[in-house]
A and B are shown apart, each in its own frame.
Chain A
């Protein structure tokens, strides 16, 4: 089945730093999405980004489906950015999203 690999698994930064999170798929991917799970467990959809680039404030994401990867950029990190970031997607013709194992981001003040 489809494999989803997120890197790095853990990332610790100081407030104000920039970061790039990566999501690799084992096959060409559709319906790619990024989620943030905050320290209280809430899962928030950040981007639905099957291809191209989107920006929302300090966050942006780029997906190159044919190259089987997506990147999430966080600029000027804040402590509220801490949590786990998940990507999810489907391969061609599949009916179910597959999630990566997540990147745990810790932003220290």
Chain B
């Protein structure tokens, strides 16, 4: 199994509070991705990174920011959480862009 760890795995928070999800990998893969999964929408790309300090937006990036200060860590931040951001968030890694993708266990976020 790919060494990908997401934290926290579950979080309940209130509208307007900041939230940070962490993805940690031990595979030294260059590419890291954040997806959200919602019923009826499948998996949608939020942001991705192609190297330290190199990031780009996905299809649903509004309300989210990311940072990658080390190869192994990719952080997803919700500056001011809203109920529409209640979702399951998956981190994924790949050795090359659009290459074979490996997912973390997911983080379930509930915004009340």
| Interfacial residues, chain A to chain B (CB-CB below 8 A) | 30-31, 33, 35, 41-45, 48, 86, 88, 90, 94-97, 99-102
Set B43, B98, B102, B105: member contacting A30, Cβ < 8 A: B98
B98 contacts A45, CB within 8 Å? no
Inside 8 A of A97's CB, which chain B residues have their CB?
Answer: 45, 98, 101
Set A41, A48, A86, A102: member contacting B100, Cβ < 8 A: A48
A95 contacts B97, CB within 8 Å? yes
Q: How far is the CA of A96 from the CA of B98 in the complex (A)?
A: 6
Q: How far is the CA of A44 from the CA of B45 in the complex (A)?
A: 17
B101 contacts A45, CB within 8 Å? yes
Q: How far is the CA of A31 from the CA of B43 in the complex (A)?
A: 17
Knowing A43-B90, A43-B103, say if A90 contacts B98 (CB, 8 Å): yes
| Interfacial residues, chain B to chain A (CB-CB below 8 A) | 42-45, 48, 58-59, 88, 90, 97-103, 105-106
B98 contacts A100, CB within 8 Å? no
Q: How far is the CA of A42 from the CA of B104 in the complex (A)?
A: 8
Inside 8 A of B90's CB, which chain A residues have their CB?
Answer: 43
B98 contacts A86, CB within 8 Å? no
A95 contacts B98, CB within 8 Å? yes
A41 contacts B101, CB within 8 Å? no
Inside 8 A of A33's CB, which chain B residues have their CB?
Answer: 100-101
B43 contacts A99, CB within 8 Å? yes
A45 contacts B97, CB within 8 Å? no
Interface centre among B59, B90, B101 (most CB of A within 10 A): B101
